[in-house]
Structure 1
Amino acid sequence: MTSTGAADQYVARRNYIFRRMFGWLTGIAIVVIGGATAWAGVGYLDGHVTVSARPGSVVVRSCEPADPGYTCTGTFEDDKTGEKTQGAALANDRDAIPSAALPAFKTDDGYTATADGELTTAKLSRALFWLGLTDLLWLVGAFFLLTGYQPRPPLHYGPFIGVWRERERRFGRVTLEEGWHVVRHERGPALPILVVVTVLCPVLFVGSWLAGGA
């Protein structure tokens, strides 16, 4: 290879990196932010995959002293479905009069006054929302990383137009059209993954909305 050919390759490689470097850095930042939202979403799940606690109230029939506090028995009524379950026993820190309605959650292990460590429909809704946001951020971040996409400066007129054009001439910009071309023709294996992630995004957001209204 001649020195001229090596120099041309160096210049081409340098220009390739300059054109895409800002896009790559932006993509990394977006993916990192998506990691933070994913952590938040997983945290809301409390280690569960399905809802493990349904909110409602126990209508007290009687309370007996226990160690500690009291054990109140009565009828549990689900806040969402209105379903009633007889013989619900709820640990309470104080005595309650008959017919009093005590806030409670129905779990696989019985009834509790708090939903600590349990997955409620409200927590599931928030988890799906944050995971949907994660999916969207990772989709955008992946596009930046795969293509080095850089939006062109919005300024097309005015006293600084020469400066912007000089920057474009020196470093260039990867347009949206160029980015799609790269994804379709140069990043073929990644395309099915991007399609799946794109479809999953509205599914998660719709699931969040449905869980919130469940």
Structure 2
Amino acid sequence: MKKIFFTLVSIFLLACCTNVHNGKVNSGIKETNIQVFLNSCLESNPNARNNEITRGMLADTIRTRLQAQIGDTLAILSGLTFDFEMCLEYHRRFNTFESDIDRNAGKYAVKFSTSNFNNESISSDKFNVTLQVLTVMNKEDVANLKDNGKYQIQGTFVDFANNSEETGFLLPSGGYFIDYPSVFMDSLDEEKMIINLGTIILDNIKLKPM
């Protein structure tokens, strides 16, 4: 009888210690900047999953809060790993006179992308995330990039990709494109939303190879 009693006590104490230990581990898990930001936006839009209208409202919240940081660095990029996707050269179009179209002649438009599929720091049981970055780089700097290379990125936030003359990103083709945040339900996981953070334009970019 004593053996059974001591065995039960031992199991109880072991369970308590395990729970305390797990509590310490769980409490030690810190949300990343992008998780904190998106969870805050979700808290402001608790009905985001309802329908297309409410998801559009969440996308507007994300856009507005990020655009408030134009001219500064974006905290949500901290710790994220981006894949180098592609680069396109700006060819000179006019040789006889200077044109705004040729302001980047000889440089390159460079695209990076990331998602929760290659970033544990974005993972969540509420959403999946995609994000693209566009920037202009000198040929010498582009030459240091590796195909499918992974980099951490920071720079001055100009705006989302848009077609305005003030903050739009002029493509080597001479045109613009628009890519603001959008939100929709994940067709592969009905419990999650896909949050497309759009394409952000950065100046004065700094890269850290991973």
TM-score range, shorter chain: under 0.3
Bigger helix share: 1
Between structure 1 and structure 2, the one with the greater Rg is: 1
TM-score by length of 2: 0.25
With CA pairs under 8 Å and 6+ residues apart, which has the higher RCO, 1 or 2? Answer: 1
Bigger strand share: 2
